[in-house]
């Protein structure tokens, strides 16, 4: 079991990763928040609750009010948020209530947003159940929902009082979900931790085979990297933007496919390949480094094939949240273990990167 501290100007909390956490939540939450309030809500999905609900309830003398969010990005909307808020009111929620987000990244994002706006803000706890949520989305206080025009365009920064990432739940995670989540760990290594890149290269079978020690190593290293960045730039005014490597094109892929074809991590995997192309062209990485990192992405694939128009995909990147005042911001790796943000990406570069990426995606389909 490992504990990583998040220490920002507005929030300080622990991210705990290890085994056996779900069955002992109450004492852990009490240590983190000081008490367990009268009204506790848990937001989850029907599938996760069916698998892990009994284990979750073990430490509760009074069961929490259960709120359900159907799976899929199509339910990550303001309509879902309003419905859930009204259920919380009907169940007697107040400013002293606590919400536990128990599920994958979508549940975590929506749960955090609910906690941020209900009664102008209540405490919440993240209990992520997918690999991607454990290593990335549960940490750092970003919450939000989608609009038809783009992903995560409505939201707020609202930190949890604690994060409990139980490795045991990964035993029921489908292989595709695990591989998709590992793309965020590859991203973590590329932008900030070359030793994580090396470990993932040398331990592919152990990681994909769900060896507990290998998984804990990757999860803890990924969380530690993100916590370090968030501690230095809580509100994404500078350094934290590097956490979006692969996300500009990745979010565009999700939007262009209406969130139906790829998992988030898979889209980010393709987005990183596009970013590596630009980085190689700009000589912030060598050809050998680009080939090495592309190979690592494919080792943890396979990434699903894509059948998209390059023009449509390039247009979809215009809604990226990093763009401000007409300036297109794009994250590029600098060697292995570092990254930066450029503001002078031109259309011809983006088009070339997307065309290269789609040529690989076409080969994957074939």
- pLDDT, tens digit, for every residue of 194-221? 999 999 999 999 999 999 999 999 999 9
What pLDDT score was predicted for residue 113? Answer: 98
Q: What are 62's two structure tokens?
A: 């009074």
Catalytic status, residue 240: yes
What pLDDT score was predicted for residue 167? Answer: 95
Q: Which is the catalytic residue, given 35, 120, 260, 365? A: 120
Q: Which is the catalytic residue, given 264, 321, 322, 328? A: 264
Between the two ends of the chain, the Cα-to-Cα distance in Å is 43
* pLDDT tens per residue across span 253-269: 999 998 889 999 999 99
What pLDDT score was predicted for residue 324? Answer: 55
What pLDDT score was predicted for residue 325? Answer: 52
Q: Say whether pLDDT at 362 is over 90.
A: no
Catalytic status, residue 202: no
Going from the C-alpha of 16 to that of each of 29, 135, 165, the distances in angstroms are: 11, 11, 6
Q: Is the distance from CB of 112 to CB of 141 less than 8 angstroms?
A: yes
Q: Say whether pLDDT at 115 is over 90.
A: yes
Average pLDDT, integer, range 216-238: 94
159 among the known binding-site residues?
A: no
Q: Is the distance from CB of 285 to CB of 341 less than 8 angstroms?
A: no
* pLDDT tens per residue across span 144-161: 999 988 889 999 999 999
Q: Which is the catalytic residue, given 75, 187, 224, 244? A: 244
What pLDDT score was predicted for residue 321? Answer: 54
What pLDDT score was predicted for residue 323? Answer: 52
Average pLDDT, integer, range 165-169: 96
DSSP 60: -
Q: Is the distance from CB of 80 to CB of 55 less than 8 angstroms?
A: no
Catalytic status, residue 298: no
- For the chain, domains (ranges, CATH) are 2-172 (3.40.50.1970), 175-365 (1.20.1090.10)
Mean pLDDT, rounded, of the chain? 94
Annotate 14-34 with DSSP letters as a single string: EEEEESS-GGGHHHHHHHHHS
**When comparing pLDDT for 336 and 323, which is higher?**
336
**When comparing pLDDT for 225 and 236, which is higher?**
225
151 among the known binding-site residues?
A: yes
What pLDDT score was predicted for residue 322? Answer: 56
Catalytic status, residue 244: yes
DSSP 320: -
Average pLDDT, integer, range 28-49: 94
Catalytic status, residue 362: no
Q: Which is the catalytic residue, given 226, 321, 322, 328? A: 226
Beta strands in the chain (DSSP E): 2-7, 12-18, 40-44, 65-68, 98-103, 123-128, 142-147, 150-157, 162-166, 330-333, 339-342
Catalytic status, residue 120: yes
83 among the known binding-site residues?
A: no
* pLDDT tens per residue across span 290-321: 999 999 999 999 999 998 999 989 998 886 55
Rounded Cα distance, 228 and 222, in Å: 10
């Amino acid at each position: 079991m490992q504990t990583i501290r998040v220490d920002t100007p507005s929030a300080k909390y622990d991210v705990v990763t290890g085994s056996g956490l779900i069955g002992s939540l109450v004492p852990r939450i009490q240590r983190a928040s000081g008490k367990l309030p009268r009204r506790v809500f848990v937001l989850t999905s029907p599938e996760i609750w069916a698998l892990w609900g009994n284990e979750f309830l073990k430490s509760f003398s009074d069961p929490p009010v259960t709120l359900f969010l159907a799976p899929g990005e199509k339910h990550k909307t303001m309509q879902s948020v309003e419905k859930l808020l009204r259920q919380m009111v009907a169940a007697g929620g107040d400013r002293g209530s606590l919400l536990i987000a128990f599920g994958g990244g979508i549940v975590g994002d929506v749960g955090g947003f609910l906690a941020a706006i209900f009664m102008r803000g209540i405490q919440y706890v993240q209990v992520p159940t997918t690999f991607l949520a454990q290593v990335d989305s549960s940490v750092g206080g970003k919450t939000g929902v989608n609009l038809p025009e783009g992903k995560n365009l409505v939201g707020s920064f609202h930190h949890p009082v604690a994060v409990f990432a139980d490795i045991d739940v990964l035993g029921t995670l489908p292989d595709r979900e695990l591989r998709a989540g590992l793309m965020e760990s590859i991203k973590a290594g590329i932008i900030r931790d070359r030793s994580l890149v090396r470990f993932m290269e040398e331990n592919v079978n152990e990681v994909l085979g769900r060896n507990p020690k290998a998984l804990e190593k990757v999860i803890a290293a990924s969380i530690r990297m993100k916590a370090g960045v968030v501690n230095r730039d809580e509100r994404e005014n500078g350094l934290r933007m590097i956490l979006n490597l692969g996300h500009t094109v990745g979010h565009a892929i999700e939007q262009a496919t209406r969130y139906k074809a790829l998992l988030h991590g898979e889209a980010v995997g393709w987005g990183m390949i596009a970013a590596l192309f630009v980085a190689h062209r700009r000589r912030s990485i060598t050809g050998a480094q680009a080939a090495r990192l592309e190979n690592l992405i494919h080792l943890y694939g396979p990434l699903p094939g894509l059948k998209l128009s390059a023009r449509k995909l390039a247009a979809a990147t215009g809604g990226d949240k990093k763009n401000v005042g007409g300036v297109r911001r794009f994250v590029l790796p600098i060697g292995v273990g570092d990254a930066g943000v450029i503001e002078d990406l031109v259309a011809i570069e983006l088009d070339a990167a997307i065309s290269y990426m789609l040529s690989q995606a076409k080969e994957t389909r074939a």
